[in-house]
């Protein structure tokens, strides 16, 4: 008999798992059922902001091919939510009462947007322990968000933002993380009036140091985005239309200032959807606790991947039960988890999947979590170049020259919107920030990725962005082993091979290598590689 695998969640990470399992499904080794809360096909949530401001069309968000999967034998149950899991009988129960048996259960339930504690939004907050609801109310509290308030986590939210941008309305963005800043800058460029409110001293404070954030804030202000730092939001005010319907009208801050607007976009982070795992009695922390094989700490027949998965070693749990770390929140690590799990499930089936799941061949449940390369964050914005990686909060004056510990190099030209911070240990780059320095940022990204030593004269890196730049780069950004797509780990050599083989467009490269199908931050470099290949030698 085929091994019965039930996948809960039909987002980008779930779709990647489906793709990896298709050969085993066609061979009859796996009987795969997919349960999704939304009724339409999987789409790229990372690019919702691009769609919301009119830079991408609806078709450009589509991912995967449900028809191909169905033809292979995959069953899709969409518009449904799981409201219970009986781990003894190995059955999941849907909100309409239907029960689906499994031998292996994979949770790819993703994350929902955090709703901040503001007066006027109390009923929209969903408690972490709340029981699963019908699909339409999966992320609601006791009531949906008020009209004119969205979190930009699904297509419906994107449509609201798209309408506001098209009408040139005033948009208030609460939160200045990467996604909030990308939306604000793109919406302003598209003609909307935008104000960003954030509690910290500078935007992107989890990615940039304060000085780098302040240079970014100045650049955003220069292109028309109103930046409100140290803005502690406390409540919203509403207006009523001619039909008596209440709509968002303004965000009230602790100092009494009211940021008026037509639409409030919440960009206050996300939290893993763990309610299904919690009801099933699985161990959870910031997400569903799994080992390096994505297997639940509690039940070897249950797995979790993507934004709902907290990968950790059980030995790391503290005496108080707390577990360090949490879900990565990035699509690249989620895809790699899906690829590894697909390989494990496909190669580990021994048949006879009935009431008790058969053991996986080469059981690796005790395997340590794979070491992820430190992430590099790139801000996708026209004319504003921001890239950062590693830990960048080290105090520049905490270590004297020659002393053991991180060494800090700073260069700033705020008047021209340029800033660089380097953190090195024994000459090797362990963290960096580059704002308004695109060539330097690209060079630092490669050095950071490879763990290379920096040149003895750190200031020579700045020459890369000089008008008369003549310095030879330390690392060739177009070398065959240079990573272009961080989400999928695609190298410049792989893209060059695809172009040479007859894939001369970005769309073709995406289809053949997957490069550019994640956050989209590498599309510019893909275009540059294609252009270079088109030039006769």
| Helical (H) or strand (E) element with 19 | helix 12-26
Q: Which residues pair with 494 in a beta bridge?
A: none
The Cα-based distances of 495 to 335, 476, 531 in angstroms read 19, 15, 12
In angstroms, rounded to a whole number, what is the distance separating the alpha carbons of residues 324 and 480?
A: 36
In the block, tokens 């939160």 appear at: 175
Instruction: Give yes or no on whether 3-110+273-347 and 135-269 have one common fold.
Output: yes
> Residue 3: pLDDT band by 50, 70, 90 thresholds?
very high
Domain boundaries, the chain: 3-110+273-347, 135-269
Q: What pLDDT is attached to residue 365?
A: 45
- pLDDT > 50? residue 444: yes
Specify the higher pLDDT residue, 225 or 515: 225
Fold of the 3-110+273-347 domain = FAD/NAD(P)-binding domain (3.50.50)
- pLDDT > 50? residue 362: no
Per-residue model confidence as pLDDT tens digits over 302-322: 999 999 999 999 888 888 888
**Model-level pTM?**
0.86
Hey, which CATH number is domain 135-269, 3.40.50.300, 3.30.565.10, 3.50.50.60, 3.40.50.1980?
3.50.50.60
In angstroms, rounded to a whole number, what is the distance separating the alpha carbons of residues 131 and 83?
A: 7
Q: What pLDDT is attached to residue 318?
A: 87
DSSP-derived 3-state class of residue 27: coil
Q: Taking a C-beta distance cutoff of 8 angstroms, is the pair 226, 192 a contact? A: no
Per-residue model confidence as pLDDT tens digits over 477-500: 677 877 788 677 788 888 888 888
Per-residue model confidence as pLDDT tens digits over 173-186: 999 999 999 999 99
DSSP-derived 3-state class of residue 139: coil
Specify the higher pLDDT residue, 443 or 133: 443
In angstroms, rounded to a whole number, what is the distance separating the alpha carbons of residues 193 and 127?
A: 33
Phi, psi (5° rounding) for residue 354?
A: -110, -135
Please state, for a pLDDT cut of 70, what percent of the chain lies above it: 91
Q: What pLDDT is attached to residue 180?
A: 95
388-416 as b/e, with b when 16 or more CB fall inside 10 Å?
A: bbeebebeeeeeeeeeeebbbbebeeeee
Q: What average pLDDT does the structure give for the chain?
A: 88
Q: Which two tokens stand for residue 367?
A: 């395997």
Q: What is the mean pLDDT of residues 368-374?
A: 64
- pLDDT > 70? residue 363: no
Q: What pLDDT is attached to residue 487?
A: 78
Q: Taking a C-beta distance cutoff of 8 angstroms, is the pair 234, 252 a contact? A: yes
In 72-198 the beta strands, taken as DSSP E runs, fall at 75-78, 82-86, 91-94, 99-101, 104-107, 111-113, 149-150, 170-174, 193-197
- Quote the DSSP letter at residue 395: -
- Ranking 191-205, 293-307, 445-459 by mean pLDDT, the lowest is 445-459
In angstroms, rounded to a whole number, what is the distance separating the alpha carbons of residues 424 and 381?
A: 28
- Ranking 10-14, 159-163, 176-180, 529-533 by mean pLDDT, the lowest is 529-533
């Amino acid at each position: 008999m085929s091994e019965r695998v039930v996948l809960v969640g039909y987002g980008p990470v779930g779709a990647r798992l489906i793709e990896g399992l298709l050969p085993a499904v066609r061979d009859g080794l796996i009987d795969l059922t997919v349960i999704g809360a939304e009724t339409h096909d999987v789409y790229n949530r990372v690019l919702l902001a691009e769609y919301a401001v009119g830079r991408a069309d609806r078709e450009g968000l589509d991912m995967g091919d449900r028809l191909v999967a169905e033809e292979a034998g995959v069953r899709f149950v969409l518009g449904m939510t799981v409201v219970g899991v009986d781990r003894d009988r190995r059955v999941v129960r849907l909100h309409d009462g239907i029960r689906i048996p499994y031998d292996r259960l994979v949770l790819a339930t993703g994350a929902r947007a955090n709703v901040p504690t503001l007066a006027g939004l109390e009923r929209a907050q969903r408690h972490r322990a709340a029981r699963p609801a019908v699909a339409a109310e999966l992320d609601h509290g006791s009531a949906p968000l008020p009209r004119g308030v969205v979190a930009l986590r699904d297509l419906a939210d994107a449509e609201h933002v798209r309408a506001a941008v098209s009408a040139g309305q005033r948009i208030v963005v609460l939160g200045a993380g990467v996604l909030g800043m990308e939306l604000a800058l793109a919406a302003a460029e598209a003609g909307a009036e935008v104000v960003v409110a954030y509690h910290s001293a500078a935007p992107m404070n989890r990615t940039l140091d304060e000085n780098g954030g302040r240079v970014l804030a100045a650049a955003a202000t220069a292109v028309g985005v109103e930046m409100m730092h140290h803005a502690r939001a406390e409540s919203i005010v509403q207006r009523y239309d001619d039909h008596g319907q209440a709509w968002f009208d303004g965000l009230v801050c602790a100092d009494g200032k009211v940021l008026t607007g037509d639409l409030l976009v919440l960009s206050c982070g996300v939290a893993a959807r763990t309610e299904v795992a919690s009801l099933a009695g699985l161990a959870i922390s910031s997400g569903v606790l799994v080992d390096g094989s994505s297997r639940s700490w509690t039940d070897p027949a249950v797995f979790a991947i993507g934004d709902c998965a907290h990968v950790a070693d059980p030995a790391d749990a503290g005496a108080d039960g707390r577990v360090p770390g949490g879900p990565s929140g990035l699509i690249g690590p989620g895809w790699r988890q899906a690829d590894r799990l697909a390989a494990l499930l496909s190669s580990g089936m021994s048949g006879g999947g009935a009431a008790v799941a058969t053991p996986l061949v080469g059981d690796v449940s005790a395997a340590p979590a794979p070491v992820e390369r430190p992430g590099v964050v790139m801000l996708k914005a026209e004319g504003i170049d921001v890239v950062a990686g590693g830990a960048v909060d080290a105090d520049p004056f905490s270590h004297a020259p020659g002393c053991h510990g991180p060494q800090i190099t700073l260069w700033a030209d705020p008047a021209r919107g340029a800033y660089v911070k380097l953190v090195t240990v024994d000459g090797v780059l362990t963290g960096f920030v580059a704002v308004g320095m695109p060539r330097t940022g690209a060079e630092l990204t490669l050095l950071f990725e490879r763990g290379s030593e920096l040149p003895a004269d750190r200031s020579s890196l700045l020459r890369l962005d000089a008008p008369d730049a003549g310095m030879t780069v330390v690392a060739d950004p177009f070398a065959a082993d240079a990573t272009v797509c961080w989400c999928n780990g695609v190298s410049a050599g792989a893209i060059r091979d695809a172009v040479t083989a007859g894939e001369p467009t970005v769309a073709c490269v995406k289809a053949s290598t997957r490069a550019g199908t994640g956050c989209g931050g590498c599309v510019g470099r893909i275009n540059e590689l294609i252009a270079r290949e088109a030039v006769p030698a």
